[in-house]
Amino acid sequence: MSTYDPATFNLQRSANTQKRFAIIVAGGSGSRMRSAVPKQFLLLNGLPVLMHTMQAFHNSHPKPQIILALPQNYHEYWIQLCADYKFALPYQLVSGGHTRFHSVKNALELIPNDALVAIHDAVRPLISSAIIEDAYLQATKHGAVVVAVKSRDSIRQLKSGETKSLLRDEIYLVQTPQTFKASLLKEAYEHPYQESFTDDASVAEQAGYAIHIAEGSYQNFKITFPEDIAIAELLMK
Protein backbone atom coordinates (compact mmCIF):
# COMPACT_ATOMS: atom_id res chain seq x y z
CA MET A 1 0.00 0.00 0.00
CA SER A 2 1.42 3.44 -0.86
CA THR A 3 0.91 6.28 1.60
CA TYR A 4 0.20 9.91 0.67
CA ASP A 5 3.17 12.16 1.47
CA PRO A 6 2.35 15.85 0.78
CA ALA A 7 6.03 16.85 0.45
CA THR A 8 6.70 14.20 -2.24
CA PHE A 9 3.41 15.00 -3.97
CA ASN A 10 4.24 18.73 -4.18
CA LEU A 11 7.77 18.02 -5.41
CA GLN A 12 6.46 15.67 -8.09
CA ARG A 13 3.82 18.19 -9.18
CA SER A 14 6.40 20.98 -9.42
CA ALA A 15 8.81 18.72 -11.37
CA ASN A 16 6.05 17.71 -13.76
CA THR A 17 4.87 21.24 -14.49
CA GLN A 18 8.34 22.77 -14.98
CA LYS A 19 9.45 22.91 -18.64
CA ARG A 20 11.91 20.10 -19.38
CA PHE A 21 14.74 20.04 -21.87
CA ALA A 22 17.18 17.29 -22.78
CA ILE A 23 20.49 18.10 -24.47
CA ILE A 24 21.79 15.05 -26.30
CA VAL A 25 25.51 15.55 -26.89
CA ALA A 26 26.62 13.85 -30.09
CA GLY A 27 29.40 16.23 -31.12
CA GLY A 28 32.28 13.76 -30.67
CA SER A 29 34.31 11.89 -33.27
CA GLY A 30 34.51 8.56 -31.40
CA SER A 31 38.28 8.20 -31.83
CA ARG A 32 38.50 5.22 -29.42
CA MET A 33 35.88 3.30 -31.45
CA ARG A 34 38.01 3.63 -34.60
CA SER A 35 34.94 3.24 -36.85
CA ALA A 36 34.35 4.75 -40.30
CA VAL A 37 31.61 7.04 -38.95
CA PRO A 38 31.34 8.42 -35.38
CA LYS A 39 29.99 5.78 -32.96
CA GLN A 40 26.66 7.62 -32.42
CA PHE A 41 25.71 6.59 -35.98
CA LEU A 42 26.65 2.90 -35.68
CA LEU A 43 23.81 0.39 -35.85
CA LEU A 44 22.54 -1.16 -32.64
CA ASN A 45 19.96 -3.87 -33.32
CA GLY A 46 19.42 -2.32 -36.75
CA LEU A 47 18.93 1.30 -35.62
CA PRO A 48 21.60 4.03 -35.16
CA VAL A 49 22.74 4.40 -31.52
CA LEU A 50 21.67 8.06 -31.46
CA MET A 51 18.08 7.20 -32.42
CA HIS A 52 17.77 4.76 -29.49
CA THR A 53 19.01 7.49 -27.12
CA MET A 54 16.68 10.21 -28.43
CA GLN A 55 13.75 7.79 -28.37
CA ALA A 56 14.44 6.99 -24.69
CA PHE A 57 14.07 10.67 -23.75
CA HIS A 58 11.03 11.09 -26.00
CA ASN A 59 9.42 8.12 -24.22
CA SER A 60 9.92 9.59 -20.74
CA HIS A 61 7.09 11.44 -19.01
CA PRO A 62 6.52 14.36 -19.26
CA LYS A 63 8.37 14.47 -22.61
CA PRO A 64 11.32 16.87 -22.63
CA GLN A 65 12.08 19.15 -25.56
CA ILE A 66 15.16 17.60 -27.18
CA ILE A 67 18.16 19.59 -28.39
CA LEU A 68 20.73 17.62 -30.36
CA ALA A 69 24.34 18.82 -30.62
CA LEU A 70 25.96 17.30 -33.71
CA PRO A 71 29.13 18.23 -35.63
CA GLN A 72 28.20 20.69 -38.40
CA ASN A 73 29.76 18.44 -41.05
CA TYR A 74 27.42 15.57 -40.05
CA HIS A 75 24.12 17.52 -40.16
CA GLU A 76 23.32 16.50 -43.73
CA TYR A 77 24.33 12.88 -43.07
CA TRP A 78 22.04 12.76 -40.01
CA ILE A 79 19.07 14.29 -41.83
CA GLN A 80 19.43 11.65 -44.56
CA LEU A 81 19.67 8.93 -41.88
CA CYS A 82 16.40 10.20 -40.32
CA ALA A 83 14.70 9.97 -43.72
CA ASP A 84 16.10 6.47 -44.32
CA TYR A 85 14.90 5.20 -40.91
CA LYS A 86 11.66 7.26 -40.91
CA PHE A 87 12.80 8.78 -37.62
CA ALA A 88 10.49 11.72 -37.05
CA LEU A 89 10.38 12.72 -33.38
CA PRO A 90 10.66 16.51 -32.69
CA TYR A 91 14.01 18.08 -31.78
CA GLN A 92 16.18 21.15 -32.41
CA LEU A 93 19.60 20.77 -34.00
CA VAL A 94 22.68 22.79 -32.97
CA SER A 95 26.35 22.54 -33.91
CA GLY A 96 28.68 20.43 -31.81
CA GLY A 97 31.72 22.20 -30.39
CA HIS A 98 35.44 21.52 -30.16
CA THR A 99 34.95 19.65 -26.83
CA ARG A 100 31.91 18.23 -24.98
CA PHE A 101 31.88 21.46 -22.91
CA HIS A 102 31.52 23.56 -26.08
CA SER A 103 28.78 21.30 -27.47
CA VAL A 104 26.76 21.72 -24.26
CA LYS A 105 27.39 25.47 -24.24
CA ASN A 106 25.97 25.81 -27.79
CA ALA A 107 22.81 23.92 -26.82
CA LEU A 108 22.31 25.86 -23.56
CA GLU A 109 21.70 29.02 -25.60
CA LEU A 110 18.27 27.63 -26.56
CA ILE A 111 17.20 26.94 -22.98
CA PRO A 112 15.22 29.38 -20.77
CA ASN A 113 16.31 30.02 -17.17
CA ASP A 114 13.16 28.68 -15.55
CA ALA A 115 13.47 25.15 -17.03
CA LEU A 116 15.00 21.85 -15.94
CA VAL A 117 17.73 20.54 -18.24
CA ALA A 118 19.20 17.04 -18.55
CA ILE A 119 22.45 16.54 -20.44
CA HIS A 120 22.91 13.04 -21.82
CA ASP A 121 25.64 11.33 -23.87
CA ALA A 122 24.30 10.22 -27.26
CA VAL A 123 26.29 7.04 -26.73
CA ARG A 124 24.43 5.85 -23.61
CA PRO A 125 21.42 4.36 -25.41
CA LEU A 126 20.40 1.99 -22.61
CA ILE A 127 19.06 4.70 -20.33
CA SER A 128 15.65 3.94 -18.80
CA SER A 129 12.61 6.23 -18.48
CA ALA A 130 12.59 5.62 -14.71
CA ILE A 131 16.13 7.00 -14.30
CA ILE A 132 15.43 9.99 -16.57
CA GLU A 133 12.26 10.87 -14.66
CA ASP A 134 13.90 10.44 -11.24
CA ALA A 135 16.81 12.69 -12.30
CA TYR A 136 14.43 15.54 -13.26
CA LEU A 137 12.58 15.08 -9.96
CA GLN A 138 15.80 15.17 -7.92
CA ALA A 139 16.98 18.26 -9.82
CA THR A 140 13.84 20.12 -8.75
CA LYS A 141 14.88 19.47 -5.16
CA HIS A 142 18.70 19.63 -5.28
CA GLY A 143 19.49 21.81 -8.31
CA ALA A 144 22.39 19.70 -9.65
CA VAL A 145 22.13 15.91 -9.96
CA VAL A 146 24.28 13.23 -11.57
CA VAL A 147 23.29 9.61 -11.90
CA ALA A 148 26.01 7.24 -10.78
CA VAL A 149 26.68 3.67 -9.66
CA LYS A 150 28.97 2.27 -6.98
CA SER A 151 32.07 0.42 -8.06
CA ARG A 152 31.60 -3.36 -8.16
CA ASP A 153 35.36 -3.87 -7.85
CA SER A 154 37.80 -3.01 -5.10
CA ILE A 155 39.42 0.38 -5.59
CA ARG A 156 43.13 1.09 -5.33
CA GLN A 157 44.83 4.45 -5.84
CA LEU A 158 48.32 4.81 -7.30
CA LYS A 159 50.11 7.97 -6.15
CA SER A 160 53.83 8.75 -6.16
CA GLY A 161 54.65 5.10 -6.90
CA GLU A 162 52.64 3.73 -3.94
CA THR A 163 49.21 2.11 -3.94
CA LYS A 164 46.49 2.47 -1.34
CA SER A 165 43.06 0.85 -1.08
CA LEU A 166 40.10 3.23 -1.00
CA LEU A 167 36.67 2.65 0.55
CA ARG A 168 34.60 1.58 -2.43
CA ASP A 169 31.35 2.58 -0.73
CA GLU A 170 32.58 6.16 -1.00
CA ILE A 171 33.37 5.91 -4.73
CA TYR A 172 30.78 6.49 -7.46
CA LEU A 173 31.14 5.98 -11.19
CA VAL A 174 29.43 8.89 -12.85
CA GLN A 175 27.07 8.52 -15.79
CA THR A 176 24.59 10.71 -17.58
CA PRO A 177 21.95 12.16 -17.53
CA GLN A 178 23.27 15.04 -15.46
CA THR A 179 20.27 17.17 -14.63
CA PHE A 180 20.06 20.74 -13.39
CA LYS A 181 17.96 23.78 -12.80
CA ALA A 182 18.76 25.57 -16.06
CA SER A 183 19.58 28.92 -14.39
CA LEU A 184 22.29 27.17 -12.32
CA LEU A 185 23.88 25.34 -15.26
CA LYS A 186 23.76 28.33 -17.59
CA GLU A 187 25.55 30.41 -14.95
CA ALA A 188 28.18 27.68 -14.45
CA TYR A 189 28.81 27.48 -18.20
CA GLU A 190 29.56 31.23 -18.29
CA HIS A 191 32.84 30.45 -16.46
CA PRO A 192 35.93 29.85 -18.64
CA TYR A 193 36.64 26.38 -20.03
CA GLN A 194 39.15 24.20 -18.14
CA GLU A 195 40.80 21.06 -19.51
CA SER A 196 39.92 19.21 -16.30
CA PHE A 197 36.19 19.36 -17.13
CA THR A 198 35.01 15.85 -18.02
CA ASP A 199 31.28 16.37 -17.53
CA ASP A 200 28.64 18.93 -16.55
CA ALA A 201 28.95 18.20 -12.84
CA SER A 202 32.62 19.23 -12.90
CA VAL A 203 31.61 22.53 -14.55
CA ALA A 204 28.89 23.16 -11.94
CA GLU A 205 31.19 22.12 -9.08
CA GLN A 206 33.92 24.50 -10.24
CA ALA A 207 31.32 27.29 -10.20
CA GLY A 208 30.62 26.48 -6.53
CA TYR A 209 27.52 24.29 -6.67
CA ALA A 210 27.01 21.09 -4.65
CA ILE A 211 26.34 17.96 -6.71
CA HIS A 212 23.73 15.41 -5.62
CA ILE A 213 23.99 11.75 -6.64
CA ALA A 214 20.99 9.77 -7.89
CA GLU A 215 20.87 6.02 -8.52
CA GLY A 216 22.11 5.06 -12.02
CA SER A 217 22.27 1.64 -13.63
CA TYR A 218 25.12 -0.64 -14.73
CA GLN A 219 23.27 -1.10 -18.05
CA ASN A 220 23.54 2.63 -18.72
CA PHE A 221 27.13 2.31 -19.88
CA LYS A 222 28.86 4.51 -22.45
CA ILE A 223 29.62 2.97 -25.85
CA THR A 224 33.32 3.77 -26.17
CA PHE A 225 35.28 0.80 -27.55
CA PRO A 226 34.55 -1.59 -30.49
CA GLU A 227 33.32 -4.45 -28.26
CA ASP A 228 30.71 -2.18 -26.62
CA ILE A 229 28.26 -2.44 -29.53
CA ALA A 230 27.97 -6.22 -29.10
CA ILE A 231 27.60 -5.82 -25.30
CA ALA A 232 24.81 -3.24 -25.75
CA GLU A 233 23.01 -5.53 -28.20
CA LEU A 234 23.12 -8.38 -25.68
CA LEU A 235 21.80 -6.14 -22.89
CA MET A 236 18.92 -4.94 -25.08
CA LYS A 237 17.56 -8.47 -25.59
Ligand X SMILES: C[C@](O)(CO)[C@H](O)COP(=O)(O)O
- Single out the residue of 15, 22, 26, 201 in contact with ligand CTP (rule: CB under 6 A): 26
- Burial, 17: exposed, middle or buried (Cβ in 10 Å; 0-12, 13-18, 19+)? exposed
Select from ligand X, ligand CTP, none the partner in contact with residue 198, using the beta carbon and a kind-dependent cut-off of 5 to 8 Å: ligand X
Alpha-carbon gap, residue 142 to 179, rounded angstroms: 10
CB 114 to ligand CTP: min, Å: 25
| Contact flag: residue 32 with ligand CTP (CB under 6 A) | yes
- Single out the residue of 176, 188, 204, 209 in contact with ligand X (rule: CB under 6 A): 176
CB 220 to ligand CTP: min, Å: 13
Select from ligand CTP, ligand X, none the partner in contact with residue 30, using the beta carbon and a kind-dependent cut-off of 5 to 8 Å: ligand CTP
Select from ligand X, ligand CTP, none the partner in contact with residue 175, using the beta carbon and a kind-dependent cut-off of 5 to 8 Å: ligand X
The greatest distance separating any two alpha carbons of the chain, rounded to the nearest whole angstrom, comes to 55
The verdict on whether omega for the bond into residue 64 sits within 30 degrees of 0, i.e. cis, is no
- Using the rule CB under 6 A, give the single segment among 7-15, 76-84, 91-99, 152-160 that binds ligand CTP: 91-99
| Contact flag: residue 194 with ligand X (CB under 6 A) | no
- The number of beta carbons lying within 10 Å of the beta carbon of residue 82 is 16
Select from ligand X, ligand CTP, none the partner in contact with residue 29, using the beta carbon and a kind-dependent cut-off of 5 to 8 Å: ligand CTP
- Single out the residue of 69, 94, 135, 139 in contact with ligand CTP (rule: CB under 6 A): 69
CB 225 to ligand CTP: min, Å: 8
- Single out the residue of 18, 55, 99, 217 in contact with ligand CTP (rule: CB under 6 A): 99
Residues that bind ligand CTP (CB under 6 A): 25-32, 38, 40, 69, 96-100, 103, 121-123, 222, 224
